[in-house]
Structures are given as structure tokens and as C-alpha cells.
Amino acid sequence: MDPVRSNPVTKTHNHHSPPNQKQQPSLPLYLTNAVFFALFFSVAYFLLHRWRDKIRTSTPLHFLTPSEIAAILSLLASFFYLMSFFGISLIFHPSTTATPRIASDDEDNTDLAGCTKHHTPLNKPLQEQKTELINSDDDEIVNSVVSGSIPSYSLESKLGDCKRAAAIRRTAVERVTSRSLQGLPVEGFDYESILGQCCEMPIGFVQIPVGVAGPLLLDGKEYTVPMATTEGCLVASTNRGCKAIYVSGGASSVVVRDSMTRAPVVRFGSAKRAAQLKFYLEDPENFDSLSVVFNKSSRFARLQSIKSAIAGKNLYIRFSCGTGDAMGMNMVSKGVQNVLDFLQSDFPDMDVIGISGNYCSDKKAAAVNWIEGRGKSVVCEAVIKEEVVKKVLKTSVEALVELNMLKNLTGSAIAGALGGFNAHASNIVSAIYLATGQDPAQNVESSHCITMMEAVNDGKDIHISVSMPSVEVGTVGGGTQLASQSACLNLLGVKGASKDSPGANSRQLATIVAGSVLAGELSLMSAIAAGQLVKSHMKYNRSSRDISNIVS
């Protein structure tokens, strides 16, 4: 047997090596590459350091010293060289490159110099393998997933069909668990819309009914509020509250604060050194330069404040910033990372333990959010007339005021509630969040609410208000782009980003949430005061096939 024909490595090498050609050493090429790599990063660091100093001293960036001009020229020269780094071997004969090797399974059939690689039958190109898998029977693919030869998470990329991947994964789960998924629908959902952003390894979707309450008359506008829930009586109760507000002239709201937060934790060798960074961050003279660095993360990010808390040699830094119409967690996290990188040069001994140190505080009941606020801080109020309280709410002003004091205020205080001085704000917040594509886990702090009731106009009418310091909502990003959730946002007139005033749509959504909570609080408290709670739940929260009984 011909040894060349039986050895693909030898064959590939000889294919590019004419006889009697002297090979050039590859060592100078590597040395050249190393020199240009070092030159590029060293001059880049030098220029960044110089430009940072200019920003701090308010020196125009276009005023260049001879050393800076030389550095820029060196940067350009090294950049153009490195642009062709991976193709630099083209200036030599292919035989002068590194020793050829057998291609791996995750490479295509073209090498860096554009030459065709010689594959053995065991090393099929990726495209060929992918084509074979796509043309395979679904049952064969399911068996491969069950056996572990094909990872479940890779089905979308291998098949190029998100819906088919979900169906195959679903069948594989049933086989592995020996449990039926009958009742969990897989048809009728756009799985491509969640790829890489909302949910990994989908096997179907859960159906949550969406009802509407309203019209909610808020700040002179009428809103039909979508609510996704499985709790009977919730939509009906909120709808009754909306009616009481409407016939009384409507509610009004104001956003008193709008800032998302992120708080990394950093550590030093001593508490004294940690305190030095705390003083630096809280010095007003340093805020402008830190803002410039932070705001580079997005054209909507605007750093508002920095507060820090020290625990021994650990420092917790709470950044607050505006985020436009996005809820903004990713935006503020990128800004924080920019600042941490910036601080590293002046505080090289700073050890970043985590981008979040729970002083933010996200998806947890925390006093810092109750006091300082997070997201949108909203206050919503309305005056409900005496005749409306009697005819629509079936109770009295005196009964509501007394119940609110003993239940929402005193009772919550005895329970040691944190931000829970309300009847059921979480119910309304969760329902609207699910309907509009918000992060449902942020219901924890978003439901912080204190409900106040007071007799006004000589005790005839009742003034009711809800103060919610941490309503975390967005109208772009996350689940807001899904078809159903996008439709609900469109129903409210807050879909997408505001073209006229960035952040206006998300702030409006926050006020709608607060207005709906106001309606829900008013109706539930009235039901409790009138002794109607149990009766209402027996009527609306129990399964019944007789529609006439429900209507009556």
C-alpha cells in the first residue's frame, strides 16, 4: 500500500510541498506577531490613561503631545498588521506554515489560508452532519436526546427549527420521566421569538387567561387594564374599584422618582482602604467623571446617584440611574462594570467580589427599596364620593377608614410587615406584570405599598391613596416583545419606546399599575368592610358549568 495514500496527514503536507523547496523557518513570524501584539496593547493602554487624565482635568482630547501623536501612529500601524494576522501566512508558501493536522469535527472544510482540508469518512463537515440530522426522523432524534448523544439544549441550533426542537424535547422529557405532558400545549406559539432571550429548552407554553378591568380613569385618560390571572374574583373586584373611581371623577398620579439600581460588593485589605473608596465615590467633585464613564453603557443610561455602605473591609456601592423605557437591569449592570474598570487604576487593590451584592436590592423584600425606592416611585390618589361608597361599594366611609387603620396599618405593623401595608397590592401587580411581559419575580419589591384612607369634606367622602416606591416596569426588552404581551401593552397605549420623550411609556405604565392597585384596594377593603368577601369568592372563585348561575 502506498504510504502517502494511506496517511491523510502526509498527503496534505506533500500536496503543498514541491520537491527540493527549502522551508523557511516560522520563528521570525511568531516574533513579529509578538512584537506587534505588545506594541498595540501598550500604546492603547498609554492613550487610554492619557485620555482619562484629560477628562479629569477638562483638557480637550484633540490637543495632542508629540508622544501621543507617536502613540497614535504606532497604534494604527500595529492595528493594520493585526488585521491581517490570521492571513499573514499568505505571503509565504503554504509549506512554511505550521505542521498540518487532521481537522476536528467542529471545523469546516476550509483552513485559514483558504485551502481544502482532506477529511476521513469519520470527520464529516459540520454542514453535512447538520443536514443528516435535519433529514432524520423525529423519533431517531428523540432517541439520541434520551441517550445523551445529542444535548437537549442544542436542538434549536442543530435543527434550525425552534418549533420542531420544542416538540422533540417535549417527547424526550416524557420518555425520560415516564410522565405525560398531555394538556401542556406545544402548538400555536412562536418559539423563535424567545430564542436566546426569554426561555431556554422550551417544551410548550402555559395558558393564563387574560381579563380586562376598567375603564380606569387616571390623569384624565381612560385605560382598559389587562390582567393575567387564575384567581377568580380578582378582575371583577378590580373592575368594581375602577367603576367607583370613574364615577367619582377619576384618580391622579405622580412619579416622584425614576431610577434603577445595582450594587456591587468590593473588598480591600483593610477597612480603612475601603473607607477611602467610599469617600471618593461620595465626593461631589468626582461625580461628573464617574457619570461620563457610567453613561457610556447606553444612550439612555444616566447616572443619578451613588451611595455606599461599609461592612468591615467590604464596600457595597449602590448606583442609581435612569434607564429610559427599559426596566434597565442589564443597562445599569453594564454601567456599573464600566465604573469598576475605571476605578481599578486608582484602586488596584480593589477586589470585585460580585457585580451584585444584594444592596440593590433585586427580587427581595428589602428596607432599602422601601425607603430609597427602586424603579419608579409612584403615588396615586382619588376622592370617592359618599354616594358611590354606599351604592357601588356597599359600605360606608367610616367603616373603610376604621378597617384600613386596623388592618393595613396596625395589623401589618403587628406582623412586622416590610412594605406590606396594604390589602392585596401584589395581586394586581402580578396580574398586570404577567399580561404585559414584566419580570414576575420583581413583584416582590414592586408590590411594596402603603394604602391610606381618610375622611374628607366634613367626613362625607373618602380620600384614598397608594404609595408604591419600587414599581419596576419597562415597555421594551424582556418579555414585552412577545406577541401576547406586546398586544396588552398596545391596549394600554404604552407599547415600545416613547419617540417623543424617552422613558415616558414606562413611567405611564407604572402609573397604570398604581392606579389599578388603587382600584383593587378600594374594592377589596369595601368587600371586607361589608362582609362580602367570602360570598364573592364562593360566587366567582368556584368552578361552575352553569353560566346562568354566574351571571345572576
Distance CA 552, CA 537 (A): 14
Cβ neighbours, 10 Å, residue 482? 19
- Cell numbers found for residue 499: 419617540
Residue entry with cell 496517511:
7
Q: With beta carbons less than 8 A apart as the criterion, state whether 177 and 477 touch.
A: no
Strands 221-228 and 265-267: unpaired
Instruction: List C-alpha distances in Å: 306 to 260, 318, 492, 522, 534.
Output: 12, 6, 34, 37, 48
Count the helix, strand and coil residues of the chain and give each as a percent rounded to the nearest 5.
50, 15, 35
Dihedral of CA 220/224/227/233: which sign? positive
Three-state SS for 271-335 is HHHHHHHHHHHCCHHHHHHHHHHHHCCCCCCEEEEEEEEEECCEEEEEEEEECCCECCHHHHHHH
Distance CA 237, CA 516 (A): 11
- Give the residue numbers annotated as catalytic, written as ranges: 231, 363, 439, 537
Nearest to 394 by CA among 227, 240, 181, 284: 240
Q: With beta carbons less than 8 A apart as the criterion, state whether 487 and 436 touch.
A: no
Instruction: List C-alpha distances in Å: 388 to 219, 355, 455, 464.
Output: 20, 51, 14, 13
Run of H or E including 255: strand 252-262
Distance CA 124, CA 109 (A): 9
DSSP assignment of 327-379 equals --HHHHHHHHHHHHHHHTTT-TT-EEEES--SSS--SS--HHHHHH--EEEEE
Helix (H, G, I), strand (E, B) or coil at 181: coil
Tell which phi-psi region holds residue 394, choosing left (phi > 0), alpha (psi between -120 and 50) or beta: left
Which residues on neighbouring strands pair with residue 254, listed in sequence order?
Answer: 379
DSSP assignment of 3-47 equals HHHH-HHHHHHHHT--TTPPPPPSHHHHHHHHHHHHHHHHHHHHH
Q: With beta carbons less than 8 A apart as the criterion, state whether 385 and 461 touch.
A: yes
